[in-house]
Chain A
Amino acid sequence: DIQMTQSPSSLSASVGDRVTITCRASQSITTFLNWYQQKPGKAPKLLIQAASSLQSGVPSRFSGSGSGTDFTLTITSLQPEDFATYYCQQSYNTPWTFGQGTRVEFK
């Protein structure tokens, strides 16, 4: 199985901050990488697919980059509704696997 490792596991930030979350795959997955946002008590929501393609309706302050084994999710100006847990997920090989999540908390 492909292992996905996110860092950090959690971070504290303020409204307006720039936030960067990293995801590393245990082998090259080219750009077969998706990002999800999950709020408490809710299902995950797809934000970005194919490493950098923003899902329809997702604010442009979210962006994704990377290829191979190293990927980044960036939120350019954190908004109150962005406090949540973020997961990466590889779709290069089954079984599809997720990172352990990064919790973005209010500082």
Chain B
Amino acid sequence: QMQLQESGPGLVKPSQTLSLTCTVSGGSIRNGAYYWTWIRQHPGKDLEWIGHILHSGGTYYNPSLKSRVIVSIDTSKNQFSLKLNSVTAADTAMYYCARDARYDSRGYAHDSFDIWGQGTMVTVSS
């Protein structure tokens, strides 16, 4: 049974870079049926999709964050990572990695986030 686990600093200073890693266990990250995704949830409860990456390295980012985000993948370690630069207090949030299943049970293209990590809280503060 696949599991995802986030890791990284819980405190980042303003203007610096937030860096998180998601380690995938119980299955291969090389499976092209999935996007590997970052999602965050602000303390108020809103969920925001940050972006995703394919095993091939292809990425897509939320336009609202695109200028500051890089998602990368290391298939040899079964990990993918998030870098968000020039952070401000508005980036304080719970950060989740998740698996985006690209196809439903009938084989039709229909994305859904079917496996999530437990989340890691990141606070931006000096």
Task: Tell me, yes or no, whether A binds B.
Answer: yes
Check A94 against B114 for contact (C-beta < 8 Å): no
Does A14 sit at the interface, judged by CB under 8 A? no
Does B117 sit at the interface, judged by CB under 8 A? yes
Does A80 sit at the interface, judged by CB under 8 A? no
Interface residues as binary, B22-50 with A (CB distance below 8 Å gives 1, 0 otherwise): 00000000000000000000000111110
Interface of A is mostly: loop
- Chain A binder among B13-21, B72-80, B105-113: B105-113
Question: What total of chain A residues lie within 8 Å of the partner, measured CB to CB?
Answer: 24
Check A96 against B116 for contact (C-beta < 8 Å): no
- Taking the closest CB of chain B, its distance from the CB of A71, in whole angstroms, is 14
Does A74 sit at the interface, judged by CB under 8 A? no
Contact of A94 among B60, B104, B112, B117 (CB under 8 A): B60
Q: Given the known A-B contacts A95-B63, A98-B47, are A46 and B110 also in contact in the complex, defined by CB atoms under 8 Å? A: no
Check A96 against B64 for contact (C-beta < 8 Å): no
Contact of A43 among B104, B111, B119 (CB under 8 A): B119
Check A98 against B46 for contact (C-beta < 8 Å): yes
Check A50 against B116 for contact (C-beta < 8 Å): no
Other contacts beyond A32-B110, A36-B113, A91-B111: 15, CB < 8 A: A44-B116, A49-B104, A49-B110, A49-B114, A50-B108, A50-B112, A53-B104, A55-B114, A89-B113, A91-B112, A94-B62, A98-B48, A101-B45, A101-B46, A101-B47
Does A69 sit at the interface, judged by CB under 8 A? no
Contact of B111 among A42, A53, A96, A98 (CB under 8 A): A96
Give Cα A87–Cα B108 distance, bound, in whole angstroms: 23
Question: What total of chain B residues lie within 8 Å of the partner, measured CB to CB?
Answer: 23
Q: Which residues of B contact A36 (CB under 8 A)?
A: 113
Q: Which residues of A contact B112 (CB under 8 A)?
A: 34, 46, 49-50, 89, 91
Q: Given the known A-B contacts A43-B96, A44-B116, are A97 and B49 also in contact in the complex, defined by CB atoms under 8 Å? A: yes
Check B46 against A53 for contact (C-beta < 8 Å): no
Q: Given the known A-B contacts A43-B119, A50-B104, are A34 and B113 also in contact in the complex, defined by CB atoms under 8 Å? A: yes
Q: Which residues of A contact B119 (CB under 8 A)?
A: 43
Q: Given the known A-B contacts A49-B104, A53-B104, A95-B64, are A43 and B116 also in contact in the complex, defined by CB atoms under 8 Å? A: yes
